[in-house]
Structures are given as C-alpha cells and as structure tokens.
Amino acid sequence: MDPDIDPRIGPGIDPGLIGDCVHCGFCLPSCPTYVLWGEEMDSPRGRIHLMGQHVAGTPVTGEMAGHFDACLGCMACVTACPSGVRYDRLIEQTRAVVEREHVRPPADRAVRELVFRLFPYPRRLRAMRLPLRLGTGLRRRIAPALERVSPSLAALADLAPEPVRHRRLPRRVRAVGRRRATVGLLTGCVQGEFFPQVNAATARVLAMEGCEVVIPPAQGCCGALSLHSGRPGQAARFARRTIAAFERAGVDTVVVNAAGCGSTMKDYTGILDGGWADRAAAIRVADLAEYLVELGPVATRHPLPLTAAYHDACHLAHAQGIRSQPRELLAAVPGLELREIAESAICCGSAGTYNILQPEAARELGDRKAERVLATGADLLVSANPGCTMQITAAIRRAGATPIPVAHTAQVLDASLRALREIG
Amino acid sequence: MTDTTGATPVRGPALDRIARRLAAVLPPGAVITDPVRLRTYECDGLTHHRAVPGVVVLPETAGQIAAVVRICNEYGVPFVARGAGTGLSGGALPRTDGVLVVTSRMRRVLEVDLPNRRAVVEPGVTNLAITEAVRPHGYYYAPDPSSQQVCTIGGNVAENSGGAHCLKYGFTVNHVLALEIVTPDGDIVTLDADDPGYDLLGAFVGSEGTLGITTKVTVRLLRAPEAVTTLLAAFGSIEQGGRAVSAIIGGGIVPAAIEMMDALAIEAAEAAVACAYPAGAGAVLIVELDGPAAETALQSAEVERVCLESGAFELRTAADPAERAAIWKGRRSAFAAVGRISPAYIVQDGVVPRTALPGVLASIDRLSAEHGIRVANVFHAGDGNLHPLVLFDDAEPGAAERAEAVSGRILDLCVEHGGSITGEHGVGVDKARYMPKMFTDDDLDTMQLVRCAFDSRGLSNPGKVFPTPRLCGEVPGVRRGAHPLVESGRAEQF
Ligand SMILES: Cc1cc2nc3c(=O)[nH]c(=O)nc-3n(C[C@H](O)[C@H](O)[C@H](O)COP(=O)(O)OP(=O)(O)OC[C@H]3O[C@@H](n4cnc5c(N)ncnc54)[C@H](O)[C@@H]3O)c2cc1C
Ligand code: SF4
Ligand code: SF4
C-alpha cells in the first residue's frame, strides 16, 4: 500500500458524522460547485448523501469519485451548516477512501502523481519553476499547446507567478524596541517558493510590532496539500516534521501567513495520535492577522492612500473563522479605503491543488471571482493565501483586464509601518 | 420510519427511451440517469419518505420544461417539480416511474421594475436572492421563511410559504402578481392577478406542484420600513409568554412578527449558534415592530410594558441591524439546530386559534410525557402557527413509531381546537392521510374537480395532497368516469 494514503484517519467514513446531516439544504447556496452547476450531487448535501450510499455498501463508482474530486474543500458548507456537520472531517475521510478504492484513468493518475511528488517539496518546486519561468509572451504562445496536451499542465503554467529573486530569510529576526513576544514563522512551501517577499514582510511586521521571530530553516511543507487530497499518511509525516522543527526552535507559538497551512496546523491534533498529538497540542498556531489583532498595535501606521478590496480566503474565513481581523488591520491604515467583494463567501477556485486537478471548474470560479474583484474598482487586491493570489491574478489576466496589483495583508502593513510608497 | 420506496427503481426500457427523448430537447448534461446520482434526489427536507426518481432533468427555460412535460404526456409517465428540496412534507418526493424536473439551473433575476415595485424572476431563484437584488435600492421581498437563503420562489409559490413576518404582511399568495406556468398538458400560460374572471392565480398558489410547473414569477416588492425595532423578552414559562402575545394583539398592535420558542428549542439554538438568550428562560418571545419611526417607538414602549406585566424577567431591544441579527439568529436556526440535541426529529406544522394556544401547548406537554418523547416548540405565535419538533433517537427500536404517533396526535389536537393540519409546510405526501380529519369526502372530491380541470390525466405530482388515488387521477391514462358530483348535477366539469 502507498504509505502516503495509509489510513491514519480511520478505516473509512464515519457514519455518525453522516448522520448529523438533517438534509435541510442550508449549505447549498454557499457551495461553489452548486453555484456553478446547480446539481444535487455537486452540493454538500448531495455529497454527504453519496458518502452515505458508500457507507451503505455502494462501491465508489467513477461518477461518485468525480463528485468528491469536484469538491473544493473550501468549507463554506461548514460555516453555513446550522447542525454543525463536520464536513471537513467527512471529506478528508472520503478522499482517503477514494484514493484507496478507486482506480483513476491513467492520465488523471499521472497529473496527481506529479503534483504530489512536487508541491510539498520546496526544492523540487524550485527546480520546477525554471521551466515555468517563462516571459509572459512566451507563456501565451505555449499555452494552447499545453492546453491540448493536458488542461492541468496548462493551468499549472498559467498560474506560476512572475519570478522574484529568491532571498534566504535569516534564522532569527530581532524585535524592534521592547520585545513583547517570541514567535515562530512558518514559511510554507508554495508561499516560500513563489512569494518569498510575503514571508519577508511578515517577519518585518512582526518584528516592528515587538516580536522576536524565529524561522527554523529545516521546516518544509506543513502537510496541507496532502491532507486535502486524500493522503493522510503523507500529511502526518509532514506534520510530525513541522512540529519537531518548531520544538527544536524553542517556540510555543507559530504564526502562519498562508490560510491553508494555518487551518491544517490548527488541526494537527486531529490528524496525529498518541504522543505526537500531545506535542501538537503544546504548540499554539495563529494566523498572522489573528495574532496581530490580539497583540494590539504599537508601531506607527503611515498613510497609504489607496482603495483595497479584501478577498476572503476559504481556509481563513471558513476553516478558521477569521474574517474581521484582516479587515480591522487594513481599515486601521490611514488613508486606506476598504471595499467589499460581492459573493465574498464563494471560493475563487484555487483551493490548494484544485486549480491543477480540476482546471475547468477552477477556471469558471476564477472568472466569476475576477469579475467581482474588478467590479469593486479598487487599486489593490489583498489576499492572504498564495493559491488565491495566483488563481485570481491568472483569471484577471485571462479576462484581458488591466491587471490589478495583489498583495498579502502582511505586505500592506509592512508598507504602512515602513512608510513605503510602494507595496513590495 | 416509512421508507416509501427505498429500492432502486427497476429501470424499464420505457424510461431509457424517455431519457433519450428528453436528452434531445435539453442541453447537454441536463438528463441524469446514473443510479448513484439519481439517488441523491430521493428525498426533500423530510427524509423518511424516499423514492429514487426514474429520470432527473435540469432544464434552463420554460420552453424546455414544456417539451419535457409533453414527452411525459406522450408516454403517460408522471412528473414532479423540485426546487431546492427543502420542503418538509415530502411534496417533492420523486416517482420511481417518472421524471423529476429540477429548477436549480433557472436562477436568474430577469427584471427589476422599481417604479412599479415588482420583479420578475425564474422559479429557481432563492427567496433571499430577490431581496438581495433590490436591497441596495431600499426594497425587499416580504415573505421570509426561515429557509429563505436556500428555498426557491417556485417552491414558495407551490407551498404558499410564509415566514415570521406573515402576521403583518401575509403569505406568498399576497405577494405574487403573476405566474408563467407550464400546464400539465405542456402549454405555457400566464396567470395574472389582474385577469378578469376566476382567480386562477389564487388557485395555483399553494397547489404543491399538482396543477403544473411554475416557470416565471412576478413578485411584489415592498419599500423597506423606515424603522424596525426588535425586542427579545424572556419568560419563566410558555403560559406567561402566551399571555403577552394575546395582550399585545388584543391591544390593537400588529407587530411584523411575534415568535416564541420554548426551553428545549432555546437549548438547541444555543448549542448550534450560541445565541446567548437569557439563561433560565422557559420561553422567549421575539417581537418585531416596523413602520414609521414615531409609530414603532410608541408601540415598542407598549410592548415592553405588556411583556413586563405578563411576567417577563428580562427584556432586550436591538438598536442596530447587528443586534437584530443576533436576536433572530437563534430563532432562524432553530429547526436545523435541533440536530444538535437529538439524532433525529420530525418538524410538525399545525395551526390553532391564538386563544387556544395555552391549552394546546399543555396537551402537547402531556403527550410528550406519556410517550417519553421530547417535543421542542417553536412557533409563529401571532397567528397560532405551531412548529412542534418531535425529537427521537432513530437507533432506538420503536422510537420512530412513538414519535410519529405523538406527531400525529398533535395534528388531532389542532383540528379538535378548530385549527388546521398545516400552516405553511403543505400537505405533500406526509399529511395526505390527515386530510380526511379536516375535510369530508365531498370536500375532497370537490378539490379533485379543480385538480382535474388542470390535470386531467393526473400526471402532475400525483400521490400528493389527496389521501387516496381517485377520480381522474392517479393511474396514468385511466379515467374512471364522471365524478359523483357531476353525475348528480351538483357540479360541472370543464
Ligand atoms: C430548516 C427549514 C426551515 C423552514 N422554514 C420554513 C418557514 O419558515 N416557512 C415555510 O413556509 N416553510 C419553511 N420550510 C419549508 C420549505 O423551505 C418551504 O416549503 C419552501 O417553499 C420549499 O421550497 P423548495 O424550493 O425547497 O421546494 P421543494 O422542496 O423542492 O418543493 C416543494 C414543493 O413545491 C413543488 N415545486 C417546487 N418548485 C416548483 C415549481 N417550479 N413549480 C411547481 N411546483 C414546484 C414541489 O413539487 C413540491 O411539492 C422550511 C424548511 C426547512 C428545511
Ligand atoms: S467544501 Fe466547498 S465545494 Fe466542498 S461541498 Fe463544501 S461548500 Fe461545496
Ligand atoms: S446545512 Fe448541514 S445539515 Fe443541512 S444539508 Fe447542509 S450539511 Fe446537512
């Protein structure tokens, strides 16, 4: 058996969790795939029903697997559900069952293998970026060819952002002024490779707010991508390594600036057992915005005269319930006018590896999101998740609209604290 | 529980042929025949009635629905309309031998006409989406079922749905100005409130999909009121709360809404959404007043006085929309929230005259104790519409039957007190058997005449509303001669 899929999360789908669903349908309008296709099987209620069918003895059919694969894991349904159905757990269990029991068509398998051998490993990702490091012109020329070979590969090339110079972060950043706290910083695989400037900004903001920031160099992927794709074995391995890295660094609070990583790390106790679960419980994980609001500001905010639209990343808004904190931080920047994006609770289609594994649906959702982002007329889009940033930028590029600059909350704060004229 | 037909349908060759014909008149991907997919449509919000549909179609236009209905007519197979599947009476229960017509892809707001205060929408538009479309302009769509974020306007029309605010504003029927429908024969016709002659629009609203399929709805829009005041009053007991309700309405005030929840319902809402209602309350009353600011201020002072006089131990008034939402949160989530305190439950829906409320509630208490089945009560207290939630554990042998018995006895109580077996959730398949408690055979036969006038072959959502198949009806293609009323010259068939 593939050790990556090896079942840590129980042998199957928990019927008790399925039974919690009372079939009221309150989750339907918040589900991106239901919004797109209007089909019961591609709604949370329908997917839970399919899980129930499987538990009752129906084998995983290709159709069934297709509807689970189409789920973005955005957790909007968890927010919407009044009965407290743990859809997050259910879909993790289901994905593991699908990976174990369902044989996918060869082309599908190849793309999935590529993604799982690549993404969670920063060094491999860096190598991969070389071929993707194409000028925009070249990218446009080869896109149709890639599209023919595999829409998934085309999506991958389409997403990779313009290259930025890679700078190594120091192991330790000293607090500016009186030290108020010591925190660890998760650099993340996609964030670290594609958006190193976000990590740099995060470290500076924390330092300027009086935190000593410890950045263990030995950290790798937190396990989020694997967990969300039915590979609990691989996820648990990554989780253990991450915990050990921060333990060695001697921090008990880890600040995370990527939404997907934060929600996975907060759930480590659920994916590990025994001693490892206890060690996970001893480390507090906080999203950057959540942490900064709790800490309270000390550094001076300098004006940034611009309008900004804030994008709710699903793994922040739905999985961690963090909606008000980033808005509060942004609104506190003098001169910055915050605009809301319509349908903010609906996923942009990025969802971890979704835009690579389900390119068509991801593209439709991306286009929908791009349209609503552009409608705000804002100068800047603020997004706290690397996947969303890549996805929305790509959709805006496709729409042929003037690209809107995108920044992480950390970069906006960094610019304001350092009185920069440009966000970088 | 009654598994209406749990088995996978035997898909005869006829259904396959029909599916092919349907595919020819519908866009790609709009015909579902895969058994695993079909099964996800086997029930609506009332999950103990199940039947896997023969075929599911997802049309996008009225023309496509008409074509589907004509094909059903050609083969003599029944069809059932479905919106969001939130119905609580099994109204959208499919037919294993028929076609389920789902409107979930027809969700465009077609026209907003603010000067004339109306909007035209497709049937799959959700109730809340209408309000959201016009809210920026200061308007809203009044009927507000608690399921408003998900239920469709087509379903609302079929069920004549109401909501917390129907005490002052009325039900769906009071807010629909015109309908475009596909008749059971497959014709597209418009029913307009302004049409001279019989009020066919009135007959259609509330017909639960038995008179045809709604394809377009023109709704009335209301101006958002100048002021809204929401009060939450906590009482030691349901009786005290009931007294307050009577005193408020007796005093000539018509609140937009008066809602009551009992201790068990409060417990569930607390578990689900942490609504932080006053601790130790035996009942909470939510009173909402709306209208000109001066008027609501006066009325709200009066309501506060009456509540205190009736024994309220805590009063809260919402000063802004966020506080109002906090008060409503518990009430809105109440049905689904019961899932937190009970593995299974039945949502009952009955009506009693307001004055009979205390007596009926006391009897429900007695029933609950006798059968060892907990009952949580949530109700639109202003118009006596009760929603007892009958809780049970489906894993416990016999519990479901006892719950079913309690639930049925509650309806008996409603009828005995001069009320009705449904306030807003409809009859569907679940309550068809209770119809004879309220109506004589003659009454039911007369209703059937209306039905036959629209649907002579009994193909449109058969098996719902009426207790037994009879007359022109339930067996496709079979007519059993003239109705006794027609034969005796007491009625005419048209
Ligand atoms: C948690 C919860 C709370 C609820 N609260 C309320 C409430 O406060 N007030 C209230 O009135 N109801 C309430 N309901 C019941 C339900 O939401 C309403 O009956 C609603 O109108 C059903 O809409 P739907 O789109 O889900 O219809 P469905 O359940 O899909 O169908 C209901 C009926 O309408 C017919 N139908 C649907 N669409 C069409 C169409 N286009 N043409 C013809 N017939 C059609 C179906 O055949 C069926 O008979 C609640 C339900 C739930 C689960
Ligand atoms: S996680 Fe997102 S995509 Fe998946 S069922 Fe829930 S709402 Fe739909
Ligand atoms: S909202 Fe919750 S209980 Fe209702 S259908 Fe969705 S998952 Fe099930």
- Grouping H, G, I as helix, E, B as strand and the rest as coil, residue B91 is coil
B340 occurs within a structural domain: yes
Q: What is the pLDDT of residues A75-98, one digit of tens each?
A: 999 999 988 899 999 998 998 899
Inter-chain residue contact B124 with A23, CB threshold 8 Å: no
- Grouping H, G, I as helix, E, B as strand and the rest as coil, residue A420 is coil
Angstrom distance (rounded) from CA A176 to CA B114:
57
Task: State residue B302's pLDDT score.
Answer: 96
Task: State residue B472's pLDDT score.
Answer: 53
Share of chain A above pLDDT 90, in %: 44
Angstrom distance (rounded) from CA B172 to CA B219:
9
**B344 and B239 assigned to the same domain:** yes
Q: What is the pLDDT of residues A95-128, one digit of tens each?
A: 889 988 887 777 677 666 666 555 555 555 444 4
Angstrom distance (rounded) from CA A423 to CA A415:
5
Q: In this model, does residue A152 exceed pLDDT 60?
A: no
Residue A344, chain B, CB below 8 Å: the answer is no
B423 occurs within a structural domain: no
B378 occurs within a structural domain: yes
Contacts of A86 in chain B (CB under 8 A): none
Report the CATH number that the domain containing residue B281 is assigned in CATH.
3.40.462.10
Instruction: Find the helix packing angle between A359-375 and A386-398, rounded to 10°.
Output: 80
Q: What is the pLDDT of residues A243-259, one digit of tens each?
A: 888 888 888 899 999 88
Contacts of B333 in chain A (CB under 8 A): 82
For residue A414, how many C-alpha atoms fall within 13 Å in the half-sphere facing its CB?
Answer: 20
- The size of the A-B interface in CB pairs under 8 A is 85
Element housing B227 (H / E): strand B227-235
Q: In this model, does residue A163 exceed pLDDT 90?
A: no
Among A20, A29, A41, beta carbon nearest to B150 = A29
Task: State residue B338's pLDDT score.
Answer: 84
**B267 and B147 assigned to the same domain:** no
Contacts of B270 in chain A (CB under 8 A): none
Report the CATH number that the domain containing residue B97 is assigned in CATH.
3.30.43.10
Q: Where in chain A is the domain with CATH 3.40.50.11810?
A: 305-417
Residue A323, chain B, CB below 8 Å: the answer is no
Among B84, B124, B339, beta carbon nearest to A83 = B339
What is the number of the ligand 2 atom nearest to the C-alpha of A44?
A: 5
Inter-chain residue contact B343 with A53, CB threshold 8 Å: no
Q: Are A307 and A337 in contact (CB under 8 A)?
A: yes
Q: How many residues does chain A have?
A: 424
Q: Is the CB of A52 under 6 A from ligand 3?
A: no
| CATH assignment, A305-417 | 3.40.50.11810
Q: In this model, does residue A202 exceed pLDDT 90?
A: yes
**B160 and B304 assigned to the same domain:** no
The chain A residue lying nearest B330, using CA atoms, is A82
The chain A residue lying nearest B152, using CA atoms, is A29
**B140 and B262 assigned to the same domain:** no
Contacts of A22 in chain B (CB under 8 A): 47, 336, 338-339, 345
Q: Is the CB of B45 under 6 A from ligand 1?
A: yes
Report the nearest-CA residue for atom 3 of ligand 3: A21
Among B44, B86, B343, beta carbon nearest to A19 = B343
Q: What would be the CATH architecture of the domain defined by A172-294?
A: 3-Layer(aba) Sandwich (3.40)
Contacts of B335 in chain A (CB under 8 A): 24, 82
Contacts of A51 in chain B (CB under 8 A): none
Model confidence band, residue A4 (pLDDT cutoffs 50, 70, 90): low
Inter-chain residue contact A83 with B340, CB threshold 8 Å: yes
**Pick from B199, B223, B247: which residue ends a domain?**
B223
Q: In this model, does residue A131 exceed pLDDT 70?
A: no
Q: Are A161 and A195 in contact (CB under 8 A)?
A: yes
Residue B8 tokens read as 């996978």
Residue A63, chain B, CB below 8 Å: the answer is yes
**B267 and B376 assigned to the same domain:** yes
Report the nearest-CA residue for atom 27 of ligand 1: B155
Domain of B476 in residue numbering reads as: 440-487
CATH for A3-101, options being 1.10.1740.10, 3.90.550.10, 3.90.320.10, 1.10.1060.10: 1.10.1060.10
Task: State residue B345's pLDDT score.
Answer: 87
Report the nearest-CA residue for atom 4 of ligand 2: A71
**B90 and B139 assigned to the same domain:** no
Task: State residue A85's pLDDT score.
Answer: 93
Q: Which residues share a beta bridge with A382?
A: A310, A407
**B194 and B211 assigned to the same domain:** yes
Of the residues A74, A343, A357, which should be mutated to test ligand 2's pocket, given the most ligand atoms within 8 Å of the CB?
Answer: A74
For residue A138, how many C-alpha atoms fall within 13 Å in the half-sphere facing its CB?
Answer: 7
Q: Are A233 and A1 in contact (CB under 8 A)?
A: no
Report the nearest-CA residue for atom 50 of ligand 1: B147
**B241 and B291 assigned to the same domain:** yes
In the reported structure, the alpha carbon of residue A38 is separated from the centroid of ligand 2 by a whole-number distance in angstroms of 13
Dihedral sign, Cα of residue A378, residue A384, residue A387, residue A388:
negative
Instruction: Work out the minimum CA distance from B272 to partner chain A, whole angstroms.
Output: 6
Contacts of A63 in chain B (CB under 8 A): 34, 36-37
Q: Where in chain A is the domain with CATH 3.40.50.1860?
A: 172-294
For chain A, the average pLDDT equals 82
Q: Are A266 and A291 in contact (CB under 8 A)?
A: no
**B119 and B62 assigned to the same domain:** no
Q: Are B203 and B181 in contact (CB under 8 A)?
A: no
**B149 and B164 assigned to the same domain:** yes
Inter-chain residue contact A49 with B39, CB threshold 8 Å: yes
**B211 and B235 assigned to the same domain:** no
Q: What is the pLDDT of residues A339-395, one digit of tens each?
A: 999 999 999 988 666 777 788 888 999 999 999 999 999 999 999 887 888 889 889
**Pick from B102, B136, B171: which residue ends a domain?**
B102
In the reported structure, the alpha carbon of residue B80 is separated from the centroid of ligand 2 by a whole-number distance in angstroms of 27
Among A26, A28, A38, beta carbon nearest to B58 = A38
What is the number of the ligand 3 atom nearest to the C-alpha of A28?
A: 6
Q: Which of B37, B5, B194, B15 is nearest to B102 (CA)?
A: B37
**B245 and B380 assigned to the same domain:** yes
Contacts of B272 in chain A (CB under 8 A): 82-84
B158 occurs within a structural domain: yes
DSSP secondary structure, A95-120, as one string: HHHHHHH-PPPHHHHHHHHHHHHHTT
Angstrom distance (rounded) from CA B87 to CA B465:
13
* B311-340 residues touching A, CB cutoff 8 A: 333, 335-340
pLDDT in tens for each of the 494 residues of chain B?
Answer: 334 444 444 566 789 999 999 999 999 999 999 999 999 999 999 888 999 999 999 999 999 999 999 999 999 999 999 999 999 999 999 999 999 999 999 999 999 999 999 999 999 999 999 999 999 999 999 999 989 999 999 999 999 999 888 899 999 999 999 999 999 999 999 999 998 989 999 999 999 999 999 999 999 999 999 999 999 999 999 889 988 998 999 899 999 999 999 999 999 998 888 888 998 999 999 999 999 999 999 999 999 999 999 999 999 999 788 899 889 988 988 877 887 888 888 889 999 998 888 889 889 999 999 999 999 999 898 888 999 999 998 889 999 899 999 999 999 999 999 999 998 899 999 999 999 989 998 999 889 999 999 999 999 999 999 887 555 544 333 333 344 443 444 444 33
Angstrom distance (rounded) from CA A380 to CA B349:
51
Q: Are A381 and A406 in contact (CB under 8 A)?
A: yes
B426 occurs within a structural domain: no
Report the nearest-CA residue for atom 4 of ligand 3: A24
DSSP label at residue B429: T
B7 occurs within a structural domain: no
Residue B445 tokens read as 């036969």
What is the number of the ligand 3 atom nearest to the C-alpha of A87?
A: 7
Q: Which residues line ligand 2 (CB under 6 A)?
A: A 30-33, 44, 47, 71-77, 87
Inter-chain residue contact A82 with B336, CB threshold 8 Å: yes
Of the residues A23, A24, A40, A85, which should be mutated to test ligand 1's pocket, given the most ligand atoms within 8 Å of the CB?
Answer: A24
Q: Which of A241, A124, A273 is nearest to A189 (CA)?
A: A124
Element housing B285 (H / E): strand B283-291
Instruction: Work out the minimum CA distance from A129 to partner chain B, whole angstroms.
Output: 38
Inter-chain residue contact B43 with A23, CB threshold 8 Å: yes
Angstrom distance (rounded) from CA A150 to CA A144:
10
Q: Which residues of B390-420 are buried (b: 16+ CB within 10 A; e: fewer)?
A: bbbeeeeeebbebbbebbbbbbebbbebebb
Q: Which residues share a beta bridge with A381?
A: A309, A406
Determine the residue among B3, B8, B36, B149 to mutate to test chain A binding: the one whose Cβ has the most chain A Cβ atoms within 10 Å.
Answer: B36
What is the number of the ligand 3 atom nearest to the C-alpha of A45?
A: 5
Model confidence band, residue A421 (pLDDT cutoffs 50, 70, 90): low
Q: Which of B266, B337, B149, B49 is nearest to A85 (CA)?
A: B337
Instruction: Work out the minimum CA distance from A27 to partner chain B, whole angstroms.
Output: 8
Residue A57, chain B, CB below 8 Å: the answer is no
Q: Is the CB of A21 under 6 A from ligand 3?
A: yes
ipTM: 0.89
Count: domains in chain B = 4
Residue B137 tokens read as 């302009």
Q: Where in chain A is the domain with CATH 1.10.1060.10?
A: 3-101
Contacts of B149 in chain A (CB under 8 A): 26, 29
Residue B61, chain A, CB below 8 Å: the answer is no
In the reported structure, the alpha carbon of residue A87 is separated from the centroid of ligand 2 by a whole-number distance in angstroms of 8
Q: Which of B368, B222, B236 is nearest to B311 (CA)?
A: B236
Inter-chain residue contact A38 with B105, CB threshold 8 Å: yes
What is the number of the ligand 1 atom nearest to the C-alpha of B208?
A: 49
Max CA distance (Å), chain A: 63
Q: Does A169 or A396 have the greater pLDDT score?
A: A396
B432 occurs within a structural domain: no
DSSP secondary structure, A216-234, as one string: -TT----SHHHHTTT-HHH
Angle (CA) A100-A103-A105 rounded to 5° is: 145
Inter-chain residue contact B337 with A49, CB threshold 8 Å: no
Element housing A186 (H / E): strand A181-186
Q: What is the pLDDT of residues A268-304, one digit of tens each?
A: 888 888 888 998 898 999 999 999 999 999 999 999 9
